[in-house]
Amino acid sequence: ESVVNRIAAGEVIQRPVSAVKELVENSLDANATSINVVVKDGGLKLIQVSDDGHGIRYEDLPILCERHTTSKLSKYEDLQSIKSMGFRGEALASMTYVGHVTVTTITKGHLHGYRVSYRDGVMENEPKACAAVKGTQIMVENLFYNMIARRKTLQNSSDDYTKIVDLLSRMAIHHTNVSFSCRKHGAARADVHSIATSSRLDSIRTVYGVSVASNLVQLEASEYNDSSSFVFKMDGYVSNSNYVAKKTTMVLFVNDRLVECAPLKRAVEIVYAATFPKASKPFIYMSIVLPPEHVDVNVHPTKREVSLLNQELIVEKIQSAVELKLRQSND
């Protein structure tokens, strides 16, 4: 049974960056306003995510890392919207099958917190009382210690930390009311350091730099209605003709979840190249809001390639909106 669990867990948590994404999403779900990430050896030695969210109640600790334990199910009315959020109650459990998980947490109104470690879905010891300020810190140590081949592949690739920095940069410019940091263990300087702000542009400037932020065209928030009552909302930024980059950066959120959508990316690249023939590849930040039952993120569990109901129509509408804005900026 434990081999089956481990293999299943290895599907949910494919790389260190998948663990970071799940942990940060949990912190956001706990209403954190500050999320700090520390990484050692590209996440293989240590991933530590600390937040100032609402914490985990003492009585929830024994079952926290059991599969399909989630405190969030009651919030969703139908199966469809549960599905749209990805794996429910599987992330933390999975991490305990492929790494060593230690949780330190304190809930509001309590004088001290608790610390407890997990392995293979269960607590290793009774929760120990400890000092804590606010929120939750989750440490994942020795990720894939029991998956030798996976560990070897990842050890040889140096880009996992880069992937984590990239993930947090994307999260930071969408969740502008939350401050994020990400650093290597022992490093004085953070590689992502965003401060909560009310302005998306400020946040993009802090995270991606002036050369990106000063060369953007705003796609003003637009709502799309159809006779068939289908509606979506879109807003964002696309780079102008002065922007220089070899690769497209598309930061896409659908219903506040970071996803990928290859057809949409291609559509924007096409109008960008047509409008600015001499320009390089674009930078795009885009947030789309749709009825949850129109979104299917389960095409593949970790790639997060999203598929949307009426996708062709949505892509087409966004493409013309972007084209119009880019043209106006060019005049």
Q: How far apart are CA 99 and CA 90, in angstroms?
A: 14
Question: Helix, strand, or coil here: 16?
Answer: helix
For the chain, give the number of residues. Answer: 331
Task: Please say whether the beta carbons of 241 and 278 come within 8 A.
Answer: yes
Could you tell me the smallest distance in angstroms from the CB atom of residue 108 to ligand ADP? 12
Does position 121 interact with ligand ADP (CB under 6 A)? The reply is: no
Please work out the total of residues on this chain that contact Mg ion, with binding judged by CB under 5 A: 2
Does position 53 interact with ligand ADP (CB under 6 A)? The reply is: yes
Could you tell me the smallest distance in angstroms from the CB atom of residue 38 to ligand ADP? 15
Task: Please say whether the beta carbons of 181 and 166 come within 8 A.
Answer: no
Question: Which tokens hold the place of 271?
Answer: 């109008």
Choose between 248 and 298: whose C-beta lies nearer to ligand ADP.
Answer: 298
Among Mg ion, ligand ADP, none, the one that 104 touches (CB under a kind-dependent 5 to 8 A) is none
Does position 52 interact with ligand ADP (CB under 6 A)? The reply is: no
**Residue 266 Cα distances to 219, 261, 319, 328, angstroms:** 17, 9, 10, 21
Cα of first residue to Cα of last residue in the chain, in angstroms, is 65
**Looking only at residues 20 through 39 of this chain, which bind ligand ADP when binding is defined by CB under 6 A?**
22, 26-27, 30
Could you tell me the smallest distance in angstroms from the CB atom of residue 73 to Mg ion? 12
**Looking only at residues 3 through 32 of this chain, which bind Mg ion when binding is defined by CB under 5 A?**
26
**Looking only at residues 124 through 153 of this chain, which bind ligand ADP when binding is defined by CB under 6 A?**
136
Look at residues 142, 98, 71 and name the one whose alpha carbon lies nearest to residue 8. Answer: 98
**Residue type at position 76:** Y
Q: How far apart are CA 296 and CA 291, in angstroms?
A: 11
Task: Please say whether the beta carbons of 191 and 184 come within 8 A.
Answer: yes
Question: Which tokens hold the place of 326?
Answer: 């880019």
Does position 327 interact with ligand ADP (CB under 6 A)? The reply is: no
Beta bridge partners of 119: 122
Could you tell me the smallest distance in angstroms from the CB atom of residue 246 to Mg ion? 34
Using CB under 6 A, which of 20, 39, 61, 92 touches ligand ADP?
Answer: 92
Could you tell me the smallest distance in angstroms from the CB atom of residue 54 to ligand ADP? 6
Question: Which tokens hold the place of 236?
Answer: 């964002």
* Residue where the block lists tokens 């949505």: 314
Does position 91 interact with Mg ion (CB under 5 A)? The reply is: yes
Choose between 42 and 55: whose C-beta lies nearer to ligand ADP.
Answer: 55
Could you tell me the smallest distance in angstroms from the CB atom of residue 90 to ligand ADP? 6
Does position 137 interact with Mg ion (CB under 5 A)? The reply is: no
Choose between 204 and 258: whose C-beta lies nearer to ligand ADP.
Answer: 258
- Residue numbers of the site for Mg ion (CB under 5 A)? 26, 91
- Residue numbers of the site for ligand ADP (CB under 6 A)? 22, 26-27, 30, 51, 53-56, 64, 69-72, 88-93, 136
